[in-house]
Amino acid sequence: MSATATLLPDLARITGARDETYDVRTLQIELVERDRAESFTWRPGQFAMISVFGFGEAALTITNPPDEEGFIEITFREMGKLTSALRRLSTGQIVGVRGPFGNSFPLDEWGGRDIVFVGGGIGMAALHAPLAAVLRERDRFGEVTVVVGAKSASDLVYRGEFDEWQRAGGARLIRAVDPGGEVDGWDGEVGLLPDVFERLGLSGAETVVVVCGPPVMLDFMLKATSRLGTPPARVITTLENRMKCGLGYCGHCSVGRFMVCRDGPVISGEALATLPKEL
Amino acid sequence: MTALGWHLSEKEWTEWLRVLLESGIAVIAPVLGTTGTSEFQRVGSAEEAAAPPPSRTAMSPKKFLFPQSEVLFSFDFSGESATLSQPEMERGRQLLVGLRPCDAAGLRRLDEVFLSEPEDPTYSERRQRTVIVSQACTQAGQSCFCTAVGGSPSGREGADLALTKLEGSGDLLLEPVTAGGEELAAPASASWRPITAEDRAQAARQAEAVTSAITREPLPPNAPPILASSFDSPAWAEVADGCIGCGICAYACPSCSCFDITDSGGAACGSRCRSWDSCAFSTFTRHASGHNPRADQPSRYRQRVMHKFSYFPAEHGGEMMCVGCGRCIDLCPAGVDIHHAVLALASGATLRVQARSGVKA
Amino acid sequence: MTKVELRGTVEAGARWKPRVVAFTCNWCSYSGADMAGTARIGYAPNVRLVRMLCSGRLDPIFILKAFEEGADGVLVSGCHPGDCHYVQGNLYTRRRLEVFANLMEFVGIDPRRLSFAWVSASEGVKWSRVVDQVVSQVAEAGPVGSWAVLHAPSTLAPQPRQPAQPPRQPPSEEEVRQTTLNLRELARRLLENGEVSRIIGYAHSAGGMSAAPAFIDTPEDAERLAWSANSPGNLTAYLSGPNRARRPGKTAVVVKTCDARSLGGLLRENQLPRDEVVAIGVSCSGQWSGGRLAAKCYACESDISPLADWSVGAGGIADGPHPGTARAVAPDPRDAEIAALASLPAGERLAFWTGEFDRCIRCYACRSACPMCYCETCIADKTQPQWIPAASSGPGNFAWNITRAMHLAGRCADCDECARACPSNIRLDLVNHSISRSIERSFGSRVEADPAAVAPLTTYRPGDPDRFL
Ligand SMILES: Cc1cc2nc3c(=O)[nH]c(=O)nc-3n(C[C@H](O)[C@H](O)[C@H](O)COP(=O)(O)OP(=O)(O)OC[C@H]3O[C@@H](n4cnc5c(N)ncnc54)[C@H](O)[C@@H]3O)c2cc1C
Ligand code: SF4
Ligand code: SF4
Ligand code: SF4
Ligand code: SF4
């Protein structure tokens, strides 16, 4: 990226859209200007500021892995002003994109290790790019497990991709819903994600655990992994604070000296423990 | 720096401002408003700029570098094309005069935020066409504490030119601090007298008098680390007891840099604006889900104090993000006093500090 | 500039025609308009209808929004008095809009832009006549632009405040000292015998305020309490809403007579139970700063509010409201300022108020300091829809200040805290006070301390002033 940072987005066109659940949607987006599109390169874990003009901007993780030249994907839950407006858009319409911003997952350090991805609700969006990157170079890693959880069966995101993830020894998939969220014929796990994770004993001293979900879940996951003997340095998460500029000035996303946009969003459990309790 | 400074009569000073005004430079100075307080404003005449009111302005001069609300771009999707257009920036130079040394130092803090990588383009653009003249204080208010945070009533940090008004004669000493300042003054300086040793002695005496009029205590040198380890102190609730989360402190502060970005208009056309924001507001950190990492007012006030006196110093060689101008103390409708808050936290005893502030009767 | 071609075309710009937004109730006026349509009674085509279930739903912010979005005029129309589908919705609205129209006039908005009418379901002809009249009125007033008039910088210098001769003297130092000692004494007693768990009072401060809010939870800490001739801050703001600082059990709060009016308001609006608050009325001879008496104090008749559970003065502590002897009052200086403004031509008034609102930095201190602004989420913080433009500029500042004023109409305790808190010295006191006066003129009632008194805009009378066509 250039030395000066801009708050002026690039115009981009929606080139594809699919509903993941009743309130979660994935959009494929292409920058309109060729040269901008070509220079837009990112790493798994980075995010973009997506604009719907007239409604605002929001930080959304880029969910596709970097080599799909030409477009980015985002998956978002309808939460408020921007995300509702974004959900009303469809193929052909114009949005704005700034970025990519933030650090990325340390995939290089994961070589040869078992990896467990634990995604709660829309948190799974943040894990999608690293998961895809890992599956693409499947041989470099040990066992890969994906734990997808949501409050109910109809809230599970990326259901359409479950088969693909498991294909050809790709990943072991565990689906879980919160107690009360199961439907007739539910054959997955029932329980809060950290409990399911601990019950199944999914991590050990050498495992890398990649977690994303609501702030409380993160807390419980750190406890669960520590009981299973995984050092906090190998528990990796990504933070989703309120954020305005993505560039390190607006002040919104800071947690102590840590700025989610500049120093994050990806952070290890070890680093997290040094931050003030303000998540 | 070649020039060491000039001694100007009031007339010469006014005359120079007039020349600058006539050359098209926008001159911004404190002006006594109709409401009884003074504010930085663009002035029309040299006389207005030459005689700033003695009271400190209610608001800092930061809006001339970092406007309270600025249109980032406007968008128009109503026609056959979608266009984003950035507003035309003013191109002319601006001269800020009558800044107290703390004001100039405050703007330096903004530089540190906005000019560090990645550089903010609009701030940087404004900064480059701005020349800052600070003026040594001749009076200290009861809320002033620049000396507690490494500043001084005759400090020059952040200034391009430093001005000292000599008591008695009313003459002025103008000293270049940066090359930009010297460059601006040089063309007019041929007829100005150089500063004498006697001038300097008088300026030093004046500075000494104002410094000793500041009654507020310096902070303990280890305040930042003490604060850093006081995150969970119960004292936060006490020092910020009355805080009503109005955000005045951040808006008035010369060094607060936080902003919000909002769209206005509709889907067809409108604009995106950035506006000042404050960590005192509950909406500052509230997630779209409703979860709020800083759930109560004391935790928001803690952010204010920690950012200025712990987080920022930790990244800027110990330099505070507060210049001790006292504005937030004077304007806070709930009587919250940031200097007392820091002293209290650093000493671990809030009530003692309040008691020291003099409960008479 | 970034640009992308889109498909589709736009209408070519046409000559200006007035645009009027009509808010109509579903049962009468909307049907009336419908009838005009089906009966082929023509009416001006410049009207866009917004249907509401009842004219009682009309929040003045709708009107502001319409102007902001480019309407040149607004018409509100509902069932005739007595015919409301919901019996009385239109009668409340009649009061509310009377106040709103007076406020709009006070700030200098051209009255031709704002009309009200009663149109029944069978009055297609009347509807057509009303619309034609409104449209031609608005046409005369001309285009409002994009509310651009509110961007116009003020040409009018604000009037300097003219301090009138105060009717009283400031209290002596000895009186202040005795009052402080008595306050501490009472506070100690209340905390010691567990009658209250917290006392919200004032303490000396070295900062900007002569007396800052203090929260006292132990008898020893009562030593911090103080009274001064300048004890600003309406501490009832800490009783409810986002600033709420009550403790479990009873909380005592030190109140001046003006502050007690908002305590009455909070009780009236069920924001706290009466038995959880103890009002300590402190004998107040007015708020003095720099030798000047605050405007709100000139006409204040009593040194202790009737709501006081305890009265504290230099003379001692008494149970219940014990006002001192009758005291001198003088006309409220704000009235003279309001009258002076009201006598200006509308354009100059608008210039004055846009100049005032121009200085608004949108800190919302006015709201935070106000005891009656207790909403957990203020309308200014709501984004769906964005009722009030967030940026600090003309239209947003206008919408914010007018909306806040209307939300306080008939509720404002006249404590002038918003104006004190405002860092830009915007004359919020005059806005609120003018509303109080307009309510008094129109309905003969004012905001009382008595929690049982009915608030002026929560009631109506058949004979209320009626400016509806
Ligand atoms: C690094 C990062 C990655 C993320 N990735 C994802 C992801 O992949 N998928 C996903 O679903 N979510 C993600 N999120 C969360 C996502 O950014 C939020 O859900 C989103 O911002 C919600 O925006 P909203 O406008 O719909 O919600 P709202 O609650 O309406 O508002 C949030 C935004 O609205 C505006 N706003 C609201 N209130 C105010 C006010 N009082 N004043 C001014 N402005 C206001 C602001 O623009 C604010 O940012 C991520 C967040 C971060 C930080
Ligand atoms: S400290 Fe004072 S000025 Fe700042 S937000 Fe709190 S009440 Fe407002
Ligand atoms: S924190 Fe307060 S005293 Fe410090 S620079 Fe800001 S306004 Fe001035
Ligand atoms: S975080 Fe708070 S104190 Fe720091 S710059 Fe932002 S508003 Fe100011
Ligand atoms: S206190 Fe004054 S400046 Fe702040 S929002 Fe209210 S009117 Fe505007």
* Chain A: closest CA distance from residue B114 (Å): 7
pLDDT higher than threshold 70 for residue B360: no
Lowest-pLDDT range, B262-271, C174-183, C195-204?
A: B262-271
Task: Determine the distance separating the centroid of ligand 1 and the alpha carbon of B236, expressed in angstroms.
Answer: 29
Tally of CB atoms within 10 A around B315: 12
Tens of pLDDT, residue by residue over A175-220, are: 999 998 888 888 888 999 999 989 888 888 889 999 999 988 999 9
H or E stretch including A173? strand A172-177
C148: pLDDT strictly greater than 70: no
Residue C82 zone, left/alpha/beta (φ > 0; ψ -120 to 50; rest) = left
Distances (CA, A) of B177 to A73, B187, C286: 52, 16, 50
Q: Using CB atoms, which residue from A3, A242, A244 is nearest to B287?
A: A242
Q: CA angle, A154 as apex, A148 and A155 as ends, to 5°?
A: 50
**Confidence grade of residue C145 (pLDDT, cut at 50, 70, 90):** low
Give the whole-number percent of chain A exceeding pLDDT 70.
Answer: 97
> Is there a contact between A181 and A153 (Cβ–Cβ < 8 Å)?
yes
DSSP string, chain A: --SB--SPPEEEEEEEEEESSSSEEEEEEEESSHHHHHH----TT-EEEEEETTTEEEEEE--S-TTSTT-EEEEEE--SHHHHHHHT--TT-EEEEEEEES----GGGGTTS-EEEEEEGGGHHHHHHHHHHHHHTGGGSS-EEEEEEESSGGG-TTGGGHHHHHGGG--EEEEEE-TT---TT--SEES-HHHHHHHTT---TT-EEEEES-HHHHHHHHHHHHHTT--GGGEEEE-----S-SSS-S-TTEETTEEHHHH-SEEEHHHHHTS-S--
| pLDDT for the residue B195 | 93
Of all residues in chain A, the one with the smallest CA distance to B267 is: A54
In CATH, the number for domain A107-238 is 3.40.50.80
3-class secondary structure, A27: strand
| β-bridge mates for residue C43, sequence order | none
pLDDT at C146: 47
DSSP assignment letter at A188? S
Q: How far apart are CA C12 and CA A143, in angstroms?
A: 64
- CA A73 to chain centroid: 11
Instruction: Give the Å distances, CA to CA, from B126 to A246, B44, B104, B114, B155.
Output: 21, 20, 15, 11, 23
Cβ within 8 Å, pair C368-B143: no
The answer to whether the beta carbons of residues C439 and C460 sit under 8 Å apart is no
Determine whether C335 is exposed, middle or buried from the number of CB atoms within 10 Å of its CB (0-12, 13-18, 19+).
Answer: middle
Average pLDDT of the segment spanning B327-334: 93
E strand segments, B67-191: 69-76, 81-85, 94-99, 130-135, 161-165, 172-176
Which atom of ligand 4 is least distant from the CA of B253? 8
Query: Max Cα separation, chain C?
Result: 82
Tokens standing for B72?
A: 């980032």
Residues of C within 8 A of B281 (CB-CB) are 364
* Residue C154 sits at the chain B interface (C-beta within 8 Å): no
C64-87, pLDDT tens digit by residue? 999 888 888 999 988 888 888 888
- Percent of chain A predicted with pLDDT > 90: 71
Look at the block and give the residue holding tokens 């007891």.
Answer: B241
Pocket test for ligand 1, best of A7, A20, A79 (most atoms within 8 A of CB): A79
Residue C6 CA: distances (Å) to CA of A33, A70, C91: 14, 20, 49
Q: Do domains A3-101 and A107-238 have the same CATH topology?
A: no
Mutate to test the pocket of ligand 3, among B62, B216, B325, B336 (most ligand atoms within 8 A of CB): B325
Least confidently predicted of A2-16, B311-325, C97-111: A2-16
Give chain B's end-to-end CA distance (angstroms, integer): 56
* CA–centroid distance, residue C404 to ligand 1 (Å): 27
Q: Give the pLDDT of residue B355.
A: 41
pLDDT recorded at residue C43 = 79
Q: Which residues pair with C76 in a beta bridge?
A: C23, C116
Model pLDDT, residue C430: 93
In this model, does residue C464 exceed pLDDT 70?
A: yes
Six-digit token pair at C267? 């009780």
Angle at C67 between CA C66 and CA C71, to 5 degrees: 80
Between the CA of B255 and the centroid of ligand 3 the distance, in Å, is 7
Would you tell me how many other CB atoms lie within 10 Å of the CB of residue B130?
19
Query: From the CA of A253, which ligand is nearest?
Result: 1
**Chain A contact set for B114 (CB, 8 A):** 249
Which 8-state DSSP code applies to residue C46?
T
Q: C10 and B79: CB-CB below 8 Å?
A: yes
- Mean pLDDT, residues B300-311: 95
Q: What distances in angstroms separate CA B252 from CA A207, B278, C213, one per listed residue?
A: 51, 10, 21
Ligand 4 atom closest to residue B247's alpha carbon, by position in its atom list: 7
Å from B194 to nearest chain C CA?
A: 41
Chains that touch B (3 or more CB pairs under 8 A): A, C
Mutate to test the interface with C, among A81, A97, A98 (most CBs of C within 10 A): A81
Does residue A256 belong to the interface with chain B, where contact is any CB pair within 8 Å? Answer: yes
B204-210 average pLDDT score: 94
Helix (H) or strand (E) holding C420: helix C417-421
C207 confidence band (pLDDT: 50, 70, 90)? low
Nearest CB to B260; choose among A55, A80, A244: A244
Given a cut of 90, whether residue C111 has pLDDT beyond it is: no
CB atoms within 10 A of CB A163: 10
pLDDT of the residue at C2:
58
* Closest by Cβ to A250, choosing from B73, B232, B259: B259
* Least confident among B114-123, C8-17, C35-44: C8-17
User: Residue C135: enclosing H or E segment and its boundaries?
Assistant: helix C124-141
C326 and chain B in contact, CB less than 8 A: no
Q: Which residue has the tokens 């107290």?
A: B100
CA separation for the pair B209, B212 (Å, rounded): 5
Q: Which atom of ligand 4 lies at the shortest distance from residue B113's CA? A: 5
What mean pLDDT comes out for the span B324-352? 84
User: From the CA atom positions of chain A, what is the Rg in Å?
Assistant: 18
- pLDDT for A67 equals 75
What CATH number matches the domain at C20-149, 3.30.60, 1.10.1060, 3.40.1350, 3.40.50? 3.40.50
Residues of chain C numbered 217-276 and touching chain B (CB < 8 Å): 221, 223-224, 226, 233, 237-238, 242-243, 245
Q: Is the dihedral of CA A65, A66, A67, A71 positive or negative?
A: positive
Which one of C382, C383, C387 makes the best mutation probe of the A interface by having the most chain A beta carbons within 10 Å?
C383
> Using omega within 30 degrees of 0 as the cis cutoff, is the peptide bond preceding A100 cis?
yes
Confidence (pLDDT) at B36: 76
Burial (CB < 10 A; 0-12, 13-18, 19+), residue B282, is middle
Residue C177's region, left for phi above 0, alpha for psi from -120 to 50, else beta, is alpha
Q: What is the chain C residue with the closest CA to A33?
A: C4
The token pair at A145 is: 């497990």
- Residues B86-97 pLDDT 10s: 988 888 999 999
Give the residue whose CA is nearest to atom 8 of ligand 2: B246
pLDDT at residue number A73: 95
A125 touches chain B (CB under 8 A): no
Asked if residue B353 has pLDDT above 80, the reply is no
pTM of the model: 0.89
Q: Is C366 in the pocket of ligand 5 (CB under 6 A)?
A: yes
The residues facing A61 across adjacent strands are A47
pLDDT higher at B351 or C190: C190
Quick check: C280 and C181 in contact, CB under 8 A?
no
Contact A215, A240 (CB under 8 A): no
* pLDDT of the residue at C10: 34
Q: Is the CB of B59 inside 8 Å of chain C's CB atoms?
A: yes
Contact yes or no for C334/C132 (Cβ under 8 A): no
Instruction: Parse chain C into domains and list their residue ranges.
Output: 20-149, 173-319, 333-458
- Digit-coded pLDDT (tens) for A223-262: 999 999 999 999 999 998 899 999 989 999 999 999 999 9
Among A6, A252, A276, select the one facing B121 at the smallest CB separation. Answer: A6
Buried b (16+ CB within 10 A) or exposed e, C358-373: bbbbbbbbbbbbbbbb
B100 near B67, Cβ under 8 Å?
no
The helix (H) or strand (E) run that includes residue C405 is helix C394-407
Q: Do A13 and C4 touch (CB under 8 A)?
A: yes
Ligand nearest, relative to CA of residue A49: 1
Whether B334 lines ligand 2, by a CB cut-off of 6 Å, is yes
Residue B249 Cβ inside 6 Å of ligand 2? The answer reads yes
Q: How far is the alpha carbon of B129 from chain C, nearest alpha carbon, in Å?
A: 23
Which of A57, A241, A248 faces B261 most closely, judged by CB atoms? A57
End-to-end CA distance of chain C: 50
Cis amide prior to A130 (ω within 30 degrees): no
Q: How far apart are CA C240 and CA C247, in angstroms?
A: 11
Is domain A3-101 given the CATH code 2.40.30.10 in the classification? Answer: yes
Domain boundaries, chain A: 3-101, 107-238
DSSP strand pairing (A56-61 vs A47-52)? antiparallel
Asked if the Cβ–Cβ distance from B121 to A57 is below 8 Å, we say no
Helix axes C333-342, C89-106, angle to 10 degrees: 80
Residues C246 and C338: their CA atoms lie apart, in Å, by: 37
pLDDT tens digit sequence for C391-432: 888 888 999 999 999 999 999 999 999 999 999 999 999 999
List, in sequence order, the alpha helices (H) in A25-65: 34-39
Nearest to A80 among C2, C4, C383 (CB): C383
**Which residues are registered as beta bridge partners of B165?**
B172
Which atom of ligand 4 is the closest one to the Cα of B278? 7
End-to-end CA distance of chain A: 29
Say yes or no: A273 contacts chain B, CB-CB below 8 A.
Answer: no
pLDDT band (50, 70, 90) for residue C354: confident
Confidence of residue A146 (pLDDT cuts 50, 70, 90): very high
Average pLDDT, chain B: 89
Atom of ligand 3 nearest to the CA of B143: 3
A261-270 confidence digits (pLDDT tens)? 999 899 999 9
Beta carbons of A81 and C383 less than 8 Å apart: yes
C4 closest CB neighbour out of A8, A84, A94: A94
Beta bridge partners of B269: B76
Nearest one of B353, B261, B354, B258 to B308, comparing CA atoms = B258
CA distance B276 to B260: 6
> Which residue has the least CA distance to atom 2 on ligand 5?
C422
Tokens of C225: 């309490």
For residues C358 and C398, is the Cβ–Cβ distance under 8 A?
no
- For residue C147, the model assigns a pLDDT of 52
Residue whose tokens read 């009717």: C167
pLDDT for the residue B351: 46
Angle between helices B338-347 and B297-306 (to 10 degrees): 90
- Please tell me the number of the ligand nearest to residue B303's CA: 4
DSSP line for B288-300: TTS--SS-SHHHH
Q: By three-state DSSP, how is residue C238 classified?
A: helix
| Cα–Cα distance, C305 to B205 (Å, whole number) | 54
Q: In 10 A of CB B119, how many CB atoms?
A: 16
CA distance A3 to B180: 23
